[in-house]
Amino acid sequence: MPWQRIETLGTIATIEHIIRKFRELIDTDSSIPPELRRALHETLDGHLLEAKRRVLLREH
């Protein structure tokens, strides 16, 4: 596997890890109401997809 592909996969894994940590914070904070929690997760979904897109475009 080319080193560029390995680097890309590592970057995506790091981004996913960071987003997962944000999700854990959102889910464990009892002061966040369910409707806001849902909106925050949707926002994170969008940011995750956009970040992956940017990383994959950078590879080419």
Q: What is the pLDDT of residues 8-47, one digit of tens each?
A: 999 999 999 999 999 999 999 999 999 999 999 999 999 9
Q: Give the list of residues 6+ apart from residue 5 with CB closer than 8 angstroms, or none.
A: 59
The alpha carbon dihedral of 29, 10, 58, 1 has a sign of: negative
Query: Model-level pTM?
Result: 0.85
| 59: pLDDT strictly greater than 90 | no
Residue 1 has a pLDDT of 81
* Cα atoms found within 13 Å of the Cα of residue 8, Cβ hemisphere only: 14
| 60: pLDDT strictly greater than 80 | no
Tokens linked to 50: 């956009």
Residue 39 has a pLDDT of 98
